[in-house]
Structure 1
Amino acid sequence: MEPSMKEKIMKHSIRLFESKGFSEASIQDIVNTLGVTKGTFYYYFSSKEELLTQIQLNYIDYMLEEQQRIIEQPDRTWKDKLSEVILMTIQAIEDRGSSARIFFRELLHITGDSLDLIKKKRDQFRLNVQSIIEQGMESGEFRDDLPAEMVAFSILGACNWCYTWFKPDGSKSDTEVAAVYTEMFLNGLKL
């Protein structure tokens, strides 16, 4: 199925925002890459900020859906669920690299209600990770002498920072990176 014009605008904008940055990429740049007029752009988006907001929401909504799918697996341990969320987060950076980079570095260009909505969804993603940790602590799968909130922030900080250095064709695959992170967070550096 042929992508809609709205999808094409978003796809081309993601590439432009990644290469030039949100501030430097203009609406004219976006429409020039598509060979359409500004009127076409404004038919779908009221502003460049609205477009960026939609890109951000598409990414975080995808992440939340995938995370929820993992959490709802009744036959998986909390350790398995945490490991799968770590892998999913790194795979999303690999599979949706440009969107991921925009998601992490361009939030500062969103304001008002849009910013509040995106922050709420980001917070929910973190709280879901924290809940996995807390439930793993309650079940005895994880040690319970560390603050779950701090552990969740640490895990997400490590995973999210991958967008700056992880290369799908590099020396480690997404699965290998996730395995190292999982081992590090679940077992630490103790002997």
Structure 2
Amino acid sequence: MKEKITEQSIRLFEKKGFTETSIQDIVDSLGVTKGTYYYYFSSKEELLMDIHIKYIKNLVEAQEKILYNEQNNCKEKLAEIVYMLIGNIDSQGPSAKIFFREMKNLKPEHLEKIIPIRDQFRINIEQLIKEGIDKGEFKEHLNAPIIALGVLGVTNWSYQWFKPNGSKSAREVSDIFVDMILNGVAR
């Protein structure tokens, strides 16, 4: 039931927004009581934090699988991370929207749990850029922290406009982004 509450809440938060969705809306849409809701979550914000933690932990895990693949060079790893982020919109689009759009509704003590995980994702990209510089795959004068933020800026905003069933597939969009990124950083 916890997963059903979470999934339905994601749909409602995406559609109505976090602040406009009440606990009553959530339980009514599932046909359960508030007691059922409070058995799993102490508040609506705890549910939002749970959604955030799950989303970012899953992204970091997927990213680390890419990074630990010894068969790919840095360029290929960067391309796979970009594809993973764009492809994630197809499978986790509503969660992505909530992650970026609703973070402002979390209290500082909840943000303290999420921000380090989110930062780790960015730091992993910085490390990949630095490794690519060291191996001669990327230009040596690059500022890895700024490049990492640029990659995230390009990909993270895609949840606003990318339509998985639109004219371009996730792979086609990520290939366009990777071409743009690598032609700016490739040797």
TM-score (normalizing by structure 1): 0.95
Matched, 1:130 2:126: yes
Give how far 1:94 is off. 1.5
Distance 2:118 2:185 in 1: 29
Matched, 1:185 2:186: no
Counterparts of 1:81-92 in structure 2, within 5 Å, are 81-92=77-88
Counterparts of 1:10-159 in structure 2, within 5 Å, are 10-159=6-155
Equivalent in the alignment of 2:162: 166
Give how far 1:129 is off. 0.6
User: Residues 36-70 of structure 1, C-alpha deviation per residue, up to 9 Å, x if partnerless?
Assistant: 11111000000000000000111101100000000
What is the one-letter code of the residue matched to 1:95? Answer: S
Equivalent in the alignment of 1:176: 172
Q: Secondary structure at the match of 1:19?
A: helix
Worse overlay, 16-25 or 138-147: 138-147
What is the one-letter code of the residue matched to 1:122? Answer: R
Give how far 1:189 is off. 10
Q: Is the 8 A contact 2:12 2:21 kept in 1?
A: yes
Are residues 7 and 79 of structure 1, via their aligned partners in 2, closer, same or farther at CA, if it must alter by over 3 Å? same
Q: Secondary structure at the match of 2:128?
A: helix
Aligned length: 186
Give how far 1:116 is off. 1.0
Distance 2:11 2:71 in 1: 39
Give every structure 1 segment of 4 or more consecutive aligned residues whose post-TM-superposition deviation is greater than 2 Å: none
TM-score (normalizing by structure 2): 0.97
Question: Structure 2 regions of 5+ residues with no counterpart?
Answer: none
Give how far 1:171 is off. 1.2
Give how far 1:168 is off. 0.6
Give how far 1:124 is off. 0.4
Q: Secondary structure at the match of 2:139?
A: coil
What is the one-letter code of the residue matched to 1:56? Answer: H
Question: Structure 1 regions of 5+ residues with no counterpart?
Answer: none
